[in-house]
Structure 1
């Protein structure tokens, strides 16, 4: 069967998008290839025409998800550092981000699985993460501030997701917003 030009690349993007949503919600290591492929409406055999292994899918998924985050940071409509970071803080530290992991950032969802993965995967993750870090450095004019903000954002989402009470989730998010702003204003 012949496919249109670009079909395979589009199908791969679709597989990464759908697999990313599932992995961020359910976990990557606990989800089988069959589940990912069924959600994408392809056979498990078709998986191997796109990825050599589940490990290969994981690396590609991490790169695709981080690329998506980087694109969002690049597309922030604000130029002034304070407006730029306020926009990111409010976008990231939202109850909807806490409640809908499948549509959110890969960092709080899969960082522990990345930490348990092999050195090659961690290095690929680090290389992509550093691209995002550089965007924060560009707007905050400090590597230290960039790491502090990024870690606070990810940690707040992770903590809020682990809490059952919505009021407490909101308190975590709001206190993190205040903490980040206080840290940035004090230096």
Structure 2
């Protein structure tokens, strides 16, 4: 890859990373092209060198946001060698995860948008759900591991969503702690 092609790829990756953070915090309807390009240190005119449209950028940013979670979930499970499932639960339902949605799990922030999104968006979301389910299921050797994985992932995502949405900080903490305790 030539120098200018490498620079173009790096710039595109930087814009996608910024956009993936924005869609996790603001959803898919809010981030504007001009705002994202300015934050990336680029002009609005340069946008079309990298993306066909705003929809193209948002779809790719959502896919990046969704995919980034896999490595985080795997690392979380490895934090507790004796009980990887508990390690994953504790990391996912941590206050830090709640307080940093820009780098947090995109299943939480993009769920409603995926439900209203086009087929490609739904497929990307579903792919991530299935990936997480496989990961969680692999931590459980019980007969109903698949059902338990579905219950666990649903509880994780739901608890995180609610903990971010409520106004009372103590209640938010209680949601995280209680669900984590019950899942463990």
Normalising by structure 2, we get a TM-score of 0.87
2:49 match: secondary structure: coil
Task: Report matched runs for 1:130-149 at 5 Å.
Answer: 130-141=130-141, 142-149=145-152
Aligned partner of 2:167 in structure 1 is 164
Matches within 5 A, 1:1-187: 3-75=3-75, 76-77=77-78, 83-141=83-141, 142-181=145-184
More displaced 10-residue stretch of structure 1: 155-164 or 95-104: 95-104
Q: Which runs of 5+ in 1 are unaligned?
A: 182-187
Residue 164 of structure 1, CA deviation: 1.3
Q: Over residues 34-89 of structure 1, what are the superposed CA-to-partner deviations in whole Å (9 max), with x where a residue is unaligned?
A: 12212111122222222212221222112212221111223342585x62111111
Whole-Å separation in 1 of the counterparts to 2:47 and 2:27: 19
How many matched pairs? 179
The alpha-carbon distance between structure 1 residues 166 and 53, as it changes in their structure 2 partners (threshold 3 A), is: same
SS across alignment from 1:30 = coil
For the residue of structure 2 that corresponds to 1:172, the secondary structure is: helix
Distance in 1 separating the partners of 2:147 and 2:24? 28
Equivalent pair of 1:59/1:124 in contact (CA under 8 Å): no
Q: CA deviation at 1:124?
A: 2.6
Asked if the contact 2:23/2:61 (under 8 Å) is kept, the reply is no
User: d(CA) in 2 for partners of 1:156 and 1:104?
Assistant: 13
Following the alignment from structure 1 to structure 2, what is the Cα–Cα distance between the partners of residues 78 and 172? 22
Q: TM-score, normalised by structure 1?
A: 0.86
Q: CA RMSD in A?
A: 2.0
Unaligned stretches of 5+ residues in structure 2: none
Residue by residue over 1:1-28, the C-alpha shift from the partner in whole angstroms, topping out at 9 and shown as x without a partner, is x844522222222111111112222222
